[in-house]
Structure 1
């Protein structure tokens, strides 16, 4: 193994799973405690099914627990096989809770999950750090939850899904960003529930027919949110806010910013609060995770893609463990990069952003 493949790794997208639908019961209040005892945690499901499932086969714990639900095995598998120093935990089940119409139910579920995360996962190892979950239907209630849980030393971010009823830059959501800044926590957008429940369709032209199309078109959602953040003046209003676009691809960023900068020069009268080019705000406030990173057949195209934007400072490594499209940090195309740039992406950028030792 080469020296570069022994670099430390901060994995910014590790999905911890529930053992059963009863896991949240000790952490929620009535009347939802009795409801969950009887029915478990009920999700407003995605209208698409993956034909190959959603999990790596080698991630099954020897304990017989569901994939991703055994903290000890997850640590052993990620730390022992893939040299992961920190695993940043993101529940891909709870982040989609905002697709429910009842904001109070979602607030109870998210509060219960955040307490469960702290007690059942973060307490197990200093290598575990967590993203707290919020509901986006009621930003004031979400802000209170960020202030309640955000001060915990092992909470390093606030995560929501890309599914929404309006773009995230709009002022409806601003109490959430105010709380993120207050607690010094990045705001993370992760896909997984687009098109489900009360959310808008997953593409600009409506619902696609199958999981392949849905999964391929996910960057559309990220593009819309990014443009909204910039053009609504979020980064002018909250100059310390950092936003992470997690698991949405990478190569779409440069052409989108070229188009946005060009249009801004002609149409800037519609955004008088912006003092700089849109691309400059994105460079200073936004990050992307590496999984799933586009992998062209020609190495030169890969290097060109990285030259098109400030990739070495904007990218954070993520594996998406334990999902089917998991990326091994020792084998992904990033290994073609010079070690200095690779080190930034594998660990240094994340350590700085999430304030990790």
Structure 2
């Protein structure tokens, strides 16, 4: 019998949202700052004031290239008309085709920078209002397919009180968690200013997730104006999941997990193969150099095992290592509808990744861990 499968990392990009997502949910007083779709040089684009946020309805050649890109292009994701991810019926059809029974859906995490445009929403109040509108939208979307879609909210990162207020709103909407973008935030995640956010997350029971992409350029150099370099952009793609190492270490060593023992955190699309080394190094560094200064009650790895989770798409060796070290803290995700994912061949990818792995471990990573974390019956 086929295993139940839940994707703990899927997406609802700005590209695919209905054009009236924000205009129908934000007050007219926001005027041109409300994200809306206009035609620019024959293409439809999302704009907010003077900022061009990204395309509507299509990915460009740089995203749809390569073997994976051709698969998505053949499915219509480069057509300029493709909105399957935001159509509840069509999205469910895509998941049925992929053998996925439910999804945790990450939202518009790139809107503060702009999607491929580097021209995002910079004004804090506007961004907070846009996130509020999106959170209302995704709550409605979740309700179209009960038990199938579990879209996460988005949190403002300019102040802890704003993030805490939006977390409460997400809880009122019935969302199971929300995404916080630490890169470009007012202060680093280890700073005490964020205490109201952590306290509210713990109080409401909502999961706080981080996700790759917003970390910016790789140190090898991702972009040079006017120059396209596949090796450089490819290097960024390869190392992007490793952006999560600093987040993992910061929240543990700063005592966030110790002060908030019921708080749960997710490293979204982080991969897992690097985690065994990271956990070992955390413990060793703490014991040898930091214990006197930090005074944590538990080894750092114990906080990870108690409160943190990581998602992956394809990570053959990571599956086996984490099966031994922390099998309850790992969740598979398809990354639908992104090029870095496994849709529409997730069943093949799962079979390859889990070949020879204890079925009990498979059930944990493919289904049980995500459902326990997000309190899904």
Q: TM-score, normalised by structure 1?
A: 0.83
* 1:164-313 alignment runs, 5 A limit: 164-165=184-185, 166-195=187-216, 202-203=217-218, 205=219, 207-209=221-223, 210-269=232-291, 271-291=293-313, 293-295=314-316, 304-307=320-323, 309-310=325-326, 312-313=327-328
- Give the Cα–Cα distance (whole angstroms) in 1 for the partners of residues 153 and 182 of structure 2: 15
1:11 corresponds to 2:22: no
Match of 2:27 among 26, 29, 32: 29
User: Aligned residue for 2:103?
Assistant: 87
Structure 1 stretches of 4+ moved >6 Å: 43-46
Shift, 1:317, TM fit = 1.6
Is residue 60–residue 68 contact of structure 1 (8 Å, CA) maintained in 2? no
Whether contact under 8 Å (2:37, 2:47) holds in the other structure is no
Matched-pair contact (CA < 8 Å) for 2:47–2:53? no
- C-alpha separation in 2, matches of 1:122 and 1:303: 30
Residues 1-20 of structure 1: CA deviation (Å, up to 9, x unaligned): xx3xx111111122124345
Between 257-266 and 327-336, report the one with greater CA deviation.
327-336
- Is the Cα contact below 8 Å between 1:230 and 1:281 reproduced in 2? yes
Q: Kindly report the root-mean-square deviation, in angstroms, between the aligned alpha carbons of the 2 structures.
A: 2.7
Instruction: Tell me, yes or no, if the aligned pair for 1:334 and 1:342 is still in contact at 8 Å.
Output: no
Shift of 1:172: 2.5
Q: 1:63 to 1:44 in 2, by over 3 A?
A: closer
Q: Is the CA contact (8 Å cut-off) linking 1:28 and 1:112 kept in structure 2?
A: yes
Aligned pairs (5 A) from 1:106-185 = 106-119=127-140, 121-126=141-146, 127-153=148-174, 155-161=175-181, 163-165=183-185, 166-185=187-206
Aligned length: 332
> Alpha-carbon deviation of 1:50?
7.3
Q: Give me the whole-angstrom Cα distance separating, in 2, the residues matched to 1:164 and 1:330.
A: 37
Higher RCO (Cα < 8 Å, 6 or more apart): 1
In structure 1, runs of 5+ residues without a counterpart are 196-201, 296-300
1:145-203 deviation per Cα after TM superposition (whole angstroms, max 9, x unaligned): 111221333x11111335334542322222221111121011111112222xxxxxx44
Whether the 8 Å CA contact 1:151–1:183 is kept in 2: the answer is: no
Match of 1:69?
86
Q: CA deviation at 1:112?
A: 0.7
Does 1:349 find its partner at 2:365? no
Residues 177, 247 of structure 1: CA spacing in aligned structure 2 closer, same or farther, 3 A cutoff?
same
Query: Which residue of the partner structure matches residue 199 of structure 1?
Result: none
| Stretch moving more, 56-65 or 263-272 | 56-65
Which runs of no fewer than 5 residues in structure 2 stay unpaired?
Answer: 39-45, 55-59, 114-120, 224-231
